[in-house]
Amino acid sequence: MSEILFWLSAFVLAYTYVGFPLLLILRAKLRPRALRSGIHTPTVSLLITAHNEAAVLSRKLENVLSLDYPRNRMEVIVASDGSDDGTNEIVAEHRDKGILLLALPRRGKIPTLNEAVPSARNEILVFSDANSMYAPGALRALVRPFADPQVGGVAGDQRYSKRSLASSATGGEHAYWSLDRMLKRWQSRAGSVTSATGAIYAIRRELFKPLPGGVCDDATISYEVIAQGGRMVFEPEAAAFEHVAPSANAEFRRKVRVCARGLRGLIEMRGLLNPFRYGFYSLQLFSHKLLRWLAVWPLAVAFVCSLALWPVGPVYRTLALTQSAFYGLAIATFFFRKRPFPSSGMLKVLSIPFYFCLANMAFLVAQFRVVRGQRIDSWEVRRFDRQPVTQQP
């Protein structure tokens, strides 16, 4: 029985981390989906949902106003979710530059977003985080794919500033986003990306539907585009820059929040998992989202079974030792994460198993929260970056 469980778990893990990416690449190469793109400057409404973002908002608004996009074809709306730190006053200072303030009571991001969208007047809705700084040509690049009438949404490219604070999770986070960026390219070529990230993405206004509470807004908005027959594509030249999480604790909390909301969003939009209606996208959603979030279970089963099978033979002993070494590195990095490392190269190597384990533990906590019915409706901003985000990958 232990052998069956081990190899079943190993198969699931191999498919999740290796098999599906290879299948995706094969699909994109054999059945690529053409994309019509070109010079296109539709009217856009850029929405920034903010709660107590005074530390970064002035910089964000100046960044938005400096974008290479016709000013008469862009409106900027800041929806303030009960901010009391001077956020509203900062927006008011930019009123003469065409920045609109929507001051709302504290209710959480989803209700704030739902109320902000009807205030938007233009063809394309662009969503952005307050701490995401756009490259000068990001907005032009982001709307370019809308020249194709089949495109309902566009995911931009979230990148991390080179000035991000170094931590035990930094190298793993950078590696994760590099892989995610590669997968988005192949997903887009195969048809649609699974979902966008909150730093920079856009959809056609008519495809927005009010969001249910407790979900991940960027993912659920992306799902709605697909559900209504649109295509969600990736535009790598639409770059937005952020700082990586300043500590492992901050990254853990962020992962729990994103996964818990993501699972709720997937439950709400579970119809997208029907391959008879949504084809290859359903397989993407199941493989890239659900299996990755649930991978902690086959990981645990594979490790426990390999230990139980130690007496059976050298194959299982080797696999048990390999897993033990991997998890041992992660644990050692956790205990020594606040100590200086002799080289940045060593930090990057050690950060990969640490980040992998941190992410999967966060996914486990998120699953328990969802099962227990705990919702995350509001968010508290913790900004550690006080230096300007440089526009570099």
> pLDDT above 90 covers what percent of the chain?
65
What's the mean pLDDT in 380-385? 52
* Choice between 313 and 337, residue whose per-residue pLDDT is larger: 313
In a domain, 356, yes or no: no
What's residue 346's pLDDT?
A: 53
d(CA 140, CA 9): 45
Range of the domain at 84: 44-279
Residue 101: inside a domain: yes
* CB count in 10 Å sphere of residue 314: 8
% of the chain beyond a pLDDT of 70: 87
Q: How confident is the model at residue 347 (pLDDT cuts 50, 70, 90)?
A: low
Q: How far, CA to CA in Å, does 249 sit from each of 102, 169, 170, 191, 375?
A: 33, 9, 12, 36, 20
Examine residue 340 and state whether it is found in any structural domain, yes or no: no
Is 13 contained in some domain?
no
**Residue pair 344/37 in contact by the 8 Å Cβ criterion:** no
Q: Is it the case that residue 344 has pLDDT exceeding 70?
A: no
Residue 338 binned pLDDT confidence (cut-offs 50, 70, 90): low
Judge whether 266 and 185 are in contact, CB under 8 Å: no
Q: pLDDT-derived band of residue 373, with 50, 70 and 90 as boundaries? A: confident
The CATH number of whichever domain residue 107 belongs to comes to 3.90.550.10
Grade residue 352 by pLDDT with cuts at 50, 70 and 90: confident
pLDDT tens, residue by residue, 255-289: 899 899 999 999 999 999 999 999 999 999 999 99
Q: Is the pLDDT of residue 204 over 90?
A: yes
Which pLDDT value is given to residue 349? 63
Mean pLDDT for 115-138 is 94
Instruction: Give the pLDDT of residue 291.
Output: 95
pTM of the predicted structure, to 2 decimals: 0.89
Distances (CA, A) of 187 to 26, 194, 226, 262, 268: 11, 7, 13, 19, 22
Q: What is the dihedral of CA 170, 171, 172, 176, to 10 degrees?
A: 100
Distance CA 159, CA 285 (A): 23
Asked if pLDDT for residue 392 goes beyond 50, the answer is no
pLDDT in tens, 314-335: 898 999 999 999 999 888 887 7
The answer on pLDDT for 384 being more than 50 is no
Instruction: Give the strand pairing for 133-134 and 124-128.
Output: unpaired
Instruction: Work out how many domains the chain is built from and give that number.
Output: 1
Whether pLDDT at 190 is above 50: yes
pLDDT of 165 strictly over 50 = no
